[in-house]
Amino acid sequence: MSADTWVRVRERVLRLAEHPRADKVFGARGHGFRLGPVMGEEQIRALEADLGVGLPEQYRSFLLRVGGGGAGPYYGLMTPVLGEGGWQWLGIGLRCAAQPTTAEFAGRPFVAEVLQRELAALETREPAQEAFADDDEFRRAYAAWDARYGELDDAREAGAVFLSEQGCGFTSVMVMAGPHRGAIWDDRRPVDGGIVPTGHYFAYWYRSWLERTEQQLAFTAAPSHQGDTL
């Protein structure tokens, strides 16, 4: 990752709040172009200890140089916070926050792709009422099938952080470990779309949002972001 990826990014984000049409940007009324304070190295190491793995480098450097959370794509970024139960991501200062994520949960293996195949297979085995002798037998079979479906569906969230609420129940998540570490995926489960890759990593995702917003408000953007690399 280039050393200048986050140069002036905090200042560029904060000055957007001064624009008279700032509240016309999608999601801006939810985060107000406010950024939380940057995190210190000691805080990040404590977060990584709870996570059980190092943070993706692009995101780690963002926390150190830009802010812990706040203004960002859609309704803004969730913030890592230390509470009584350990570190977790919360919607500090966000009007529309995504689902909280504990560091322990985010540090588990990310197996959304494998579980998507299992769910697809399970859907083909959904109990049909006409296949059962009586209603009670069907209800028991369906309840067991539905419970298993819910279990697999919930397990798809493991290994990632709910990073930003998109609206209508859709969210952006960031994978924390494994071969997709640092990648942004879209959670489209409200329309049975599963959790799917965007093809981008954190720095590209965030800086693209910033540049689009500057263009929308006719600010002069800084030079184009660096390549979408880990």
Say yes or no to pLDDT of 156 above 80.
no
Q: What is the pLDDT of residue 43?
A: 97
* pLDDT 10s digits, 111-147: 777 767 766 776 778 888 888 888 888 888 788 777 7
Average pLDDT score, the chain: 87
The C-alpha atoms of residue 22 and residue 1 are separated, in whole angstroms, by 30
Q: Is 147 inside a domain boundary?
A: no
Domain ranges, residue 170: 9-111+156-216
Kindly tell me the sign of the dihedral angle through the C-alpha atoms of 194, 196, 202, 205. Answer: negative
CATH assignment at residue 194: 3.40.1580.10
Q: Is 140 inside a domain boundary?
A: no
Q: Is 13 inside a domain boundary?
A: yes
Q: Is 87 inside a domain boundary?
A: yes
Q: Is 1 inside a domain boundary?
A: no
- Structural domains counted in the chain: 1
Q: Is 143 inside a domain boundary?
A: no
Say yes or no to pLDDT of 205 above 50.
yes
* pLDDT 10s digits, 10-65: 999 999 999 999 999 999 999 999 999 999 999 999 999 999 999 999 999 999 99
Say yes or no to pLDDT of 97 above 50.
yes
Q: Is 119 inside a domain boundary?
A: no
Q: Is 200 inside a domain boundary?
A: yes
Q: What is the pLDDT of residue 112?
A: 72
Say yes or no to pLDDT of 102 above 80.
yes
